[in-house]
Amino acid sequence: MYLVNETVTTSFDDIITQLERAGNDLADLAGYVDNFVNWWNDMKIGLKSLQTSLPLIKLDGSNPLRGEVLIRWERVREQYAQYQRHVLEIQTHHFQQSNKNHILYLVL
């Protein structure tokens, strides 16, 4: 960075570097969104399957499918918990990176 008439200007190379980084960040974001959509599609298929099985379960517990359906619901619950943890990790990582980049920009 250079000072010109008490204003900060950025060199062409610095601008190109920032644009490349922004492009990389957007590519990462697109990948995360793609994973998010795929995960929800998998969940939709799983939930539809469970909805189909649900009427087959008798309240007295005598249906042999009951255990299988409960196991599947447990898997859905665990997968959703994993999804929530993963999203939190991504948010935390990008928040930290954003703060580092902001601080670096202010220092420069």
E strand or H helix that includes residue 4: strand 2-4
**Structure confidence at residue 57 (pLDDT):** 66
Domain ranges of the chain: 33-107
Q: What does each C-alpha distance from 65 to 35, 55, 76 come to in angstroms? A: 31, 10, 17
Backbone φ and ψ for 55, nearest 5 degrees, come out as: -65, -20
Instruction: Look over the chain and give the mean of its residue pLDDT values, rounded to a whole number.
Output: 77
* pLDDT tens digits for range 6-22: 555 678 888 888 889 88
* pLDDT tens digits for range 83-98: 888 888 888 887 777 7
Instruction: State what percent of residues in the chain have pLDDT above 70.
Output: 70
Compare 65 and 55 and report the one with higher pLDDT: 55
